[in-house]
């Protein structure tokens, strides 16, 4: 039986990655406590998810000590790029313009964020010259 290739981490896997990106290396119990503050999650469920994530290459596990420590094996930036790339292709048929326009119209944007977006566009235009 072949498994369908995932287009990126699942919602629950992203939740675990965010916990590890913010808090650094952690035990299953530590991750589970943070998850429980948001939504009740059983310890064994968290453990199984994290074991699967190790198998998928999303986490690394240091079992050199009594308590196993888990670390994100993928960076936040690379994960975001992968997910945005997948979204761009699946939902917007590869149209960066449509993706950006939808993102900008989805919620109110602060003047500070608009300024950063303008700076990014200007830098990208400079690179293309």
**What would the pLDDT profile of 36-68 be if each residue is shown by its tens digit?**
999 999 999 999 999 999 999 999 999 888 889
Q: How far apart are CA 76 and CA 19, in angstroms?
A: 11
Q: What is the pTM of this model?
A: 0.81
What are the tokens at 24? 């650094």
Whether the per-residue pLDDT at 1 is higher than 50: the answer is: no
C-alpha distances in angstroms, 69 versus 38, 40, 61, 126?
Answer: 22, 22, 6, 44
Last residue of a domain, one of 27, 45, 72: 72
One domain for residues 108 and 85: yes
Total number of domains in the chain: 2
Is 4 inside a domain boundary? no
What residues make up the domain containing 102? 76-128
In the block, tokens 């310890």 appear at: 43
Are residues 87 and 68 located together in one domain of the fold? Answer: no
Cβ neighbours, 10 Å, residue 19: 21
């Amino acid at each position: 039986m072949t498994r369908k290739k995932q287009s990126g981490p699942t919602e629950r896997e992203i939740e675990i990655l965010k916990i590890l990106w913010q808090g650094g290396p952690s035990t299953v119990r530590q991750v589970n406590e943070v998850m429980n503050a948001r939504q009740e999650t059983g310890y064994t469920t968290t453990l199984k998810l994290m074991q699967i994530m190790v198998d998928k290459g999303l986490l690394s596990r240091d079992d050199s000590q009594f308590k196993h420590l888990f670390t994100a094996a993928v960076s936040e930036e690379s994960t975001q790029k992968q997910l945005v790339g997948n979204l761009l292709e699946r939902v917007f048929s590869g149209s960066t313009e449509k993706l950006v326009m939808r993102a900008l119209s989805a919620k109110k944007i602060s003047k500070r964020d608009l300024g950063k977006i303008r700076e990014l566009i200007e830098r990208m235009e400079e690179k293309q010259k």
